[in-house]
Amino acid sequence: MNDTLKIVLYSSAAGLPIIIGGLISSVFQRKETKYKSSVNRWVIAFGGGALASAIAFALVPKAVPILSTTELALFFLSGTISFMIIDMLIARLGTSLAQSLSMMMDFIPEALALGASFALDHKFGLLLAIFIGMQNLSEGFNSYTELTSRLSNKKTLLLLFGLSLTGIIAALTGEYFLSDNQTLIARIMLFAAGGILYLVFQDIAPLSKRKNDWIPATGASIGFLIGMFGEKILG
């Protein structure tokens, strides 16, 4: 199997959890149970933990040895500020779009990095695909709930399916145009890390908390633990 086909498969594995999460949510949201809110918040926290593990084990460790101290600060903070500005613009569009657009804000840079770095380190590419897939599963689950406030169930699922395929395009772009420039890859990963960390504390962590309900926050630990296992096995 050649590298291009592997990248298509890996990026598909990273992106398809968006629609899988949406399908799971479409079934789950139909049932009214006293645990429904807790489960929704647990899934949100799980996505936050997966994002944190991607920062800790994939994005930052690959960038730190390559970039100077000045570049570390510049690109990390650039990601934070850029995501903050986009988040502010998204808020004006309404909450039904916020989760989906936020999802793409971190998915595209990570998919670019996946494709660009794959030729040099297949294990890292697989690890990054796992991280992306974990977070996309929870984000697809949550996006379904938000999008159905404005769109029909069918249109929501079609939109999530379309979003799940964008990672393939981004990964192939990374392979063909960025694979010879490891410094640029490191900058993209650090930019994504800065933005993702902002999203975790601005959008994800607050949504996972509920008064007098302590279970949802454990999802963050589980998400991070799975990332830790991935790093141990493939790192």
Residue 150 lies in a domain: yes
Secondary structure element (H or E) that encloses residue 142, with its range? helix 122-147
Residue 185 lies in a domain: yes
Residue 61 lies in a domain: yes
**Number of domain units in the chain:** 1
Instruction: Identify whether the C-beta of residue 93 lies closer than 8 Å to the C-beta of residue 150.
Output: no
More confident call, 103 vs 74: 74
- Please provide the size of the chain in residues: 235
Q: Classify residue 130 as exposed, middle or buried by CB count within 10 Å of its CB (0-12, 13-18, 19+).
A: buried
Residue 196 lies in a domain: yes
Tell me how crowded residue 212 is: count the other CB atoms within 10 A of its CB: 4
Residue 31 lies in a domain: no
Buried b or exposed e, range 29-45, using 16+ CB within 10 angstroms = eeeeeeeeebebbbbbb
Residue 111 lies in a domain: yes
Residue 30 lies in a domain: no
As a whole number of angstroms, the distance between CA 193 and CA 196 comes to 5
Q: How confident is the model at residue 199, as a pLDDT? A: 83
Q: What's the pTM?
A: 0.81
Banded pLDDT at 75 (limits 50, 70, 90):
very high
Range of the structural domain that residue 100 is part of? 3-25+36-234
As a whole number of angstroms, the distance between CA 173 and CA 207 comes to 33
As a whole number of angstroms, the distance between CA 148 and CA 57 comes to 34
Write down the mean pLDDT value for the chain.
Answer: 82
Banded pLDDT at 81 (limits 50, 70, 90):
very high
Residue 66 lies in a domain: yes
Closest C-alpha among 9, 38, 39, 85 to residue 210:
38
As a whole number of angstroms, the distance between CA 204 and CA 181 comes to 32
Using DSSP, state whether 210 is helix, strand or coil: strand
Instruction: Identify whether the C-beta of residue 11 lies closer than 8 Å to the C-beta of residue 129.
Output: yes
Closest C-alpha among 202, 10, 200, 181 to residue 88:
202
Q: Is the pLDDT of residue 105 over 70?
A: no
pLDDT per position as a tens digit, 109-127: 878 888 887 766 777 778 8
Q: How confident is the model at residue 144, as a pLDDT? A: 84
